[in-house]
Structure 1
Amino acid sequence: MTRATFLLPAPARFGAQRWSETMLRALARADRRPAGEAGRRAQLLRHAALPPGRWPLAALSRRLDATDADAPGTAWLRADPAWLRPDINGVRLMAHGEGLGLTADDVTALLPALRPVFGDAGFMLDAPHPARWYLQVPAGTPLPAFHDPSEALGTDLADLGDADTPGPEARRWRALANEAQIVLHQHPWNAGRQAAGRPPVNTLWFWGGGAAPGVASAAHRWPPRVFSDDPVCVALAAAAVRPQALPDAWPGPGEGDALFDLSALRDLRALLQAWLHPALDALDAGALTTLALDDETGGLRELRRWHRWRIWRRPAAGGPS
């Protein structure tokens, strides 16, 4: 008997797609937990349990990409390659990291031109993975509250409010970002990428700064089995377990509690057929003790086998809220 936790996207991401009557009945009969904070970062922190106010994703992902993440006196900052595109309303983040389809050749071409920009400021830039670039900074270096790229994707940068962020450190990082943009804009490699129909790398996106946390402080809420294709979720969970790739469909209860990160799915029909309905069947059969649903809006529900007797609870019209 096990507990399965599904991390789901916000219901609004499914647009006009309709939930099945089976799922609506199950949701109506579930226990609703106090709403959590909205957003992907908050969703993951309900399981990662990092110390309050800390989000050192650079150091955590560095543990997977290199061997020096825990070097004494060192903090890390992600400086991921990204693509900004101007439009009539402003400038938008269109892609970053994995979304740019970068290769080792891209790193070889672009990194040497960028290193002096940060070296003169006392920071080392490297890229142990083509999609994940890092700045090594002295521990204790003041860092502004950078936005996660996943939260900024498609957003007009003016709406993020960074231009209003006060303080010399914020100005310093804006200046470094501007210098990097100038180098990348002038680099002939980007012209070649665009000629080949690929997006340019025209900025670096800073985020996830901090020193590596102790393993125990980032570990204690994860179940024994974690399945995800999201590098951020994988980096967080790796402090406690060995995450596995997300399967194409519900694999069955297995042995021990498990968490399945389904937050990237946008086809509601496929989510219902491949994941939610089979998990409900396992719950009805007694193979699962609990099915927990955690969506990006902070909606938290727990379903148990005996909940099917709550026949007086009627489904909400349209879908979950």
Structure 2
Amino acid sequence: MPYKDSYVAKIREKIGHDFKLIMPTSDVVIENDAGQLMMIYNRDFDGWAFPGGYVEPELSWPENAAREVLEESGINAAADDLIAIGMVSGPDYQGHYPNGDVTQLFSNIFLLQNWSFESDMIDESEIDGKKWVSPQDIEAMHLTFSGRAVYQIYRHYKITQQAQILTTSSQLQRFVDAQDGKVTAVSDYVSAVAELSAGQKQTHWMWFVLPQLRGLGSSERARYYGIADATEAKFYLVDDLLRQRLEKVLNVLLSLETTDPVAVFGQVDAKKLQASLTLFAYVAHDKSLYQRALEQYFDGKQHQETLDLLAQTVS
């Protein structure tokens, strides 16, 4: 349903745009016979997501979900064929719209595997396109905040066949989830420590184990796991789990009998190490651990692009 005709639009007409609405929503993961998932490009949030939207009061949860599937993907779904696979909510599960509207979302997630017809018609009032994507390719796509949460619910269900209640209580949770192995096609924190203890990074984990400032990389993972600014870097160190894990990695690096970061990380990731050390040395109350690592691997030289970005955010 176009926004101008929706229940939310009618509420906004009465209360204006300065009040944060609490809204129930539904999202649907649709599978085809090839194991691909239907993704739609949401204009409001400038990213790929799963079909979904606000719940209209005259319909049930499954009926609302089936309606969104038809409007946003062109797939005709029966409400009875939708399988409930999880729920998402939490302080950070909010929709921030280009016009300044903010909604606090509470979403039921459904899986649709049985369907027979797909048309090319979609609701172009908010959707710019749709396409079928393999699960392994989704990790490299620019997903919306809801797209990431829904995909995590889906992955959990495929592994366990059990519904999940997901609470997004902190933006830093993205690092914990990745370090705990909840992201496909990458390694986890335990693997990172094991590889570094053996003297050489072997697999993919740099973005979320030794994070750097957002803006230094252009890939989806560099943007998603990029630290927003000095404030978020400080919060990272305030989090006991993330700080302790970071300190353990640095102590492993300091114990190696080498001063060559390229030998441990390779040419590209050596620069990322320097950027990460520079960032946390900048914000840490006790800078000694980060400075020792900079001394051992970079003769104390900091990463200039990181310093430039930090200077921009401070000014």
Query: What TM-score results when the alignment is normalised by the length of structure 1?
Result: 0.31
Higher relative strand content: 1
Higher relative helix content: 2
